[in-house]
Structure 1
Amino acid sequence: MTVVQIPVAEDLILAMGQRAIEEFLQKQTQALRLQLLAERLDKLITDSGIDWDGELETARQEAWETYQRNHS
């Protein structure tokens, strides 16, 4: 992990407190990391060439048929 030092206005530190700002920024960077991972995953899924909508529909249909067999 890398430590980044950024300037923060003194009035903001006084209003919120240093710890609150640190926690806020930590949560924001975690959210950015998750967004980056989601974008990478989306690209991998798209680049796979698999028709995921078709796969999902097939699985949905099979699940429905199984449900009907077991609850008739």
Structure 2
Amino acid sequence: MTYDLDFFQRENTEQAEEITRLGQALKMSKYHTRRLKEEKHHQAEQIDELQDLVRQLSAEVNRLRREKEEKK
């Protein structure tokens, strides 16, 4: 009977340690997921800003082309 009790105590300890490791891994995964979402959001903002700049540059190029054509 003592053997069985020792076996189950070791088994429970091993399971508790595994649960702890899995919990830590889950916590890190959630942290990295949140960081990736934040980075994705930041990149989306940067893309929007770059697209605005491209539109502004395109409008300026078109304006300069029109001025050049009018001078001819």
Q: With structure 1 as the length reference, what TM-score do the two structures score?
A: 0.46
Which entry has the higher C-alpha Rg, 1 or 2?
A: 2
Larger helix share, 1 or 2: 2
